[in-house]
Each structure stands twice: as C-alpha cells, then as structure tokens.
C-alpha cells in the first residue's frame, strides 16, 4: 500500500511561541518516518502597527534568522530529504501589500493560507474558530478567504473548515460549497488538518469534506506539526486515511507550489 504521506508542507518552529523542538528534530523525525519532502511554514511575521502584537507568530526581526537557519539545514540534509522554506499566513487586506514587501527579499518557496482571524486581526473581534450561529461571520470568512486566494499568492489553504458555524443548515452548505467550487476552479487544494484531528478540534469537519468530495476538490494532508513527534505520526496518519476513505476524498501528495515572487 502506498504511504499516506510522503511530503508535509505544514511544519512550525518555536518562533511562533506555541511550538517546541528544534528544526533539526523535526527533520530527523521526518526522515525516520519516510518523508521525502518537509516544508516549514511557520506563522509569518506581520507588519502591524507597533502597538499591536498578535502573540502567535514570529516577530518581524526573527524572519531572517528563520530563513537562514533553514537554508543551512536544507544544504546539510540535501542528500537525505528535500527541505522547503515557506510561511503560513492570513489574508489581511489592509496589510497585505506591506506583508508582500516584507517577505519578498527572503524568496520563500511557498505560502499557505491559514485564516485565523477576520478583518485585519487588529481591528475586529471576529475569529472563525469559536462556535457561532452568526451567518455574518460565516459569510465574512468565505468572502475573505476567497479574496485572498484570488491573488494567486497561496499554494493551498490550511484547515479551510476552521469556521465553527454550529447550525447544520442550508446556509452552511451553500457557503462551504461556494468556497469549495472556487478553490477547485483556482486549483487550490484543501488541507485535512492533522493537528485538529490529533487534538479533537472542530476540524477536520466531515460535513465540509463531504461537500469537497462532491465538488471534486483536491485534498492534501497537513501535519500542522508544533512538536517533532507530530511529523507524520503513524496513528495520526492511519486516522487520516480512514477519514479520507469515509468521505470519498481525492488525496494528493504535492500541491502546485506557487512561488509568490
């Protein structure tokens, strides 16, 4: 049977302030578990106004050290595994251009979208993960994600089902179908997030991925590893395989990496 995962593009580092372990430990675990590609995509720095700190991403001044550390390890391990250097980030319209200018000199291999807040983070209390019955939050989430994906900047969307809209109704189905259809048209894979699976979060959401299966979306597994042991953890992968089979998903190993610069 073909391995469920050969490549992982969703790996964090301690710079995000809620992950542990060294980059070398993540790499060694990936090699031991048979991965051929390990992509690091830590929570990206964001050029907010100085008065605002989000608290869950690397600082702007850490960006250079993040990239230089991974470049050195990429060279060191070149004959054992392919190391890619990316970022996970939200689409925040007010700071998007400044963000592009901030990371352009580092020439990342790819960017994935993980929409952890709506609006521009500093100017709204709306977040997608707390349970909500508010249709406005659901629609805003889909609108903002699609606006970001239309830029062509992102290689895939992490935990697209993070929105925790609790009514199981036609409104949810219509908005999620709108998201899935446009992602398919844009060639953007949807991530089955293995951190959510490991920690029993509201995602991965079966009703969302049944819609994705109906619409023919491509799906990728992402470890969302915040500690080395979570890279391609065998039990986690077995559960992911069962989830994909139950929901009828079209799983791919490698997204098209859209080099943003």
Pick the CATH number of 7-252 from 3.20.20.140, 2.60.120.380, 3.40.140.10, 3.40.50.10310: 3.20.20.140
Contact of 194 with 230, CB cutoff 8 Å: yes
What confidence tier does 73 reach under pLDDT thresholds 50, 70, 90? very high
Q: Token digits for 6? A: 């050969």
Q: Token digits for 101? A: 């200018």
What is the pLDDT at residue 2? 66
pTM of the predicted protein model: 0.96
Residue 199 has pLDDT above 60, yes or no: yes
What is the pLDDT at residue 117? 95
* Peptide bond before residue 251 is cis, with ω within 30 degrees of 0: no
Residue 3 has pLDDT above 90, yes or no: no
- Residue-range domain boundaries for the chain: 7-252
Average pLDDT over the chain, rounded to an integer: 96
Residue 205 contacts by C-beta under 8 Å, 6 or more apart in sequence? 161
Which of 58 and 260 is assigned the larger pLDDT? Answer: 58
Which of 56 and 50 is assigned the larger pLDDT? Answer: 56
What confidence tier does 261 reach under pLDDT thresholds 50, 70, 90? confident
* pLDDT per position as a tens digit, 112-145: 999 999 999 999 878 999 999 999 999 999 999 9
* pLDDT per position as a tens digit, 235-260: 999 999 999 999 999 999 999 999 88
What is the pLDDT at residue 125? 76
Nearest Cα neighbor of 223 from 206, 210, 235 is: 235
What confidence tier does 39 reach under pLDDT thresholds 50, 70, 90? very high
């Amino acid at each position: 049977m073909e391995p469920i995962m050969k490549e992982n593009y969703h790996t964090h580092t301690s710079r995000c302030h809620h992950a542990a372990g060294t980059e070398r430990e993540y790499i060694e675990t990936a090699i031991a578990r048979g991965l051929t590609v390990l992509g690091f995509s830590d929570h990206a720095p964001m050029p907010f106004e100085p008065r605002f700190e989000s608290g869950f991403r690397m600082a702007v001044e850490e960006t250079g050290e993040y990239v230089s550390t991974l470049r050195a390890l990429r060279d060191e391990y070149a004959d054992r595994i392919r190391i890619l250097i990316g970022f996970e980030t939200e689409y925040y319209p007010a700071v998007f251009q400044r963000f592009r200018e901030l990371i352009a000199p580092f020439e990342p291999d790819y960017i994935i979208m993980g929409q952890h807040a709506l609006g521009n983070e500093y100017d709204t209390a709306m977040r997608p993960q707390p349970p909500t019955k508010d249709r406005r939050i659901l629609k805003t989430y889909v609108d903002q994600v699609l606006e970001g994906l239309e830029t062509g900047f992102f290689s895939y969307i992490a935990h697209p089902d993070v929105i925790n809209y609790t009514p199981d109704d036609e409104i949810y189905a219509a908005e999620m179908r709108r998201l899935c259809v446009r992602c398919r048209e844009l060639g953007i894979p949807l991530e089955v997030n293995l951190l959510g699976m490991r920690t029993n979060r509201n995602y991965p959401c079966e009703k969302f991925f049944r819609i994705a299966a109906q619409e023919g979306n491509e799906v990728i597994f992402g470890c969302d590893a915040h500690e080395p042991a979570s890279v391609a953890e065998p039990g986690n992968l077995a559960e992911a395989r069962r989830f994909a089979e139950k929901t009828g998903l079209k799983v791919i190993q490698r997204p098209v990496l859209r080099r943003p610069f």
